[in-house]
Amino acid sequence: MRKLMIEAAINELASKEQNPNVPYGPEEVARDAIACAKAGATIVHFHARDADTGEQLWQSVETYAQAIKLIRRECDAILYPTYRSGVAKEQRIAHIVSLADDPDVRLELATLDLGATNTGAPDPTAGEGSAGAYVNTHRDVMYFMRTLREHGVFYSLGVRDVGHMRHIQAYAEAGLVQSPWAVKIFMSEQDAHGPLPDARGLMMYLDMVPPDVECHWFVTTYKSATAHSRVNMLAAAMGGHIRTGLGDNPVLDGRVLTNAQQVEMAVDLAHKAGREVATPAEGRQMMGMTA
């Protein structure tokens, strides 16, 4: 069976109140990312955040660049930032373009979310509900894809509903996605979107992959600490890849762990499934980033 890639999402929206090991500023992020890489992470994802308060610095080129430079002194993990919604499409990826064009950074990866999703869960006590819609129009996504290609940035694709797999097929037909696909499947027990995080839910996505396409799929279970280990076990056994980290689940199985410890758990699952863990160089090759 092919090697397994591990992605560590090390801070996201999590706070030190939830877990004191959540890294905030560039130096903490760098230390954590390096520890995760040493533990076996192929990919590290992080948000730019204020070193003292943890405030989200969504598009701070300086903060991202500082962290990336520190990390690359010690390891070659594949790194990528977040991007935010609610702003014009050009602004949403402006920091990614700047990081890609910086000769001292040369950002190589981004993840693009597809389609529209009702976030959160219905709350009968909140009138209209507790959250809103996360919308990524075809026009915006195609703009992101074309722009990132122009700047040499590889993109994986985030899906939150089964129908989003049809979006990937449409983008492939338009020449904007090529095999192998790199797909991030976001699943949640609490947020009422997509299928439940179990084997049947995973197969709903995988059955949508054309037979002539190679697909590297990662499972992301957020707000789903009780399902996290179970779904990662399925991914390891079914040929998928694992995403873990405090950013998605700051408390896991009732335990307050470090990011590196969560990565070590993923490594253990890979080995139990009879799979080796991919190095960053192997991950780049597998996803076609070196082409």
| Dihedral, 277, 223, 166, 235 alpha carbons, nearest 10 | 30
Least confident of 24-28, 84-88, 184-188, 230-234: 84-88
3-state secondary structure string, 164-224?
HHHHHHHHHHCCCCCCCEEEEEEECCCCCCCCCCCHHHHHHHHCCCCCCCCEEEEEEECCC
Q: What number does CATH give the domain 6-287?
A: 3.20.20.70
What is the C-alpha to C-alpha distance for residues 100 and 97, in angstroms, rounded to an integer?
A: 5
Neighbours of 53 (CB within 10 A): 11
Query: Exposed/middle/buried for 93, CB within 10 Å: 0-12, 13-18, 19+?
Result: buried
Mean pLDDT of the 278-286 span: 98
What is the C-alpha to C-alpha distance for residues 264 and 271, in angstroms, rounded to an integer?
A: 11
The whole-chain average pLDDT of the chain stands at: 94
Q: Work out the pLDDT band at 53, boundaries 50, 70, 90.
A: very high
- 3-state helix vs strand vs coil in the chain, percent to 5: 35, 20, 45
Q: Work out the pLDDT band at 263, boundaries 50, 70, 90.
A: very high
DSSP 160: S
- How confident is the model over 90-147, as pLDDT tens digits? 999 999 999 999 999 999 999 999 999 987 777 666 555 456 788 999 999 999 999 9
Percentage of the chain modeled with pLDDT above 90:
85
Cis before residue 180, ω within 30 degrees of 0?
Answer: yes
Per-residue pLDDT, 131: 63
Per-residue pLDDT, 39: 98
The yes-or-no verdict on residue 22 having pLDDT over 80 is: yes
Residues found in the chain? 291
The yes-or-no verdict on residue 83 having pLDDT over 80 is: yes
Per-residue pLDDT, 286: 97
Query: Exposed/middle/buried for 78, CB within 10 Å: 0-12, 13-18, 19+?
Result: buried
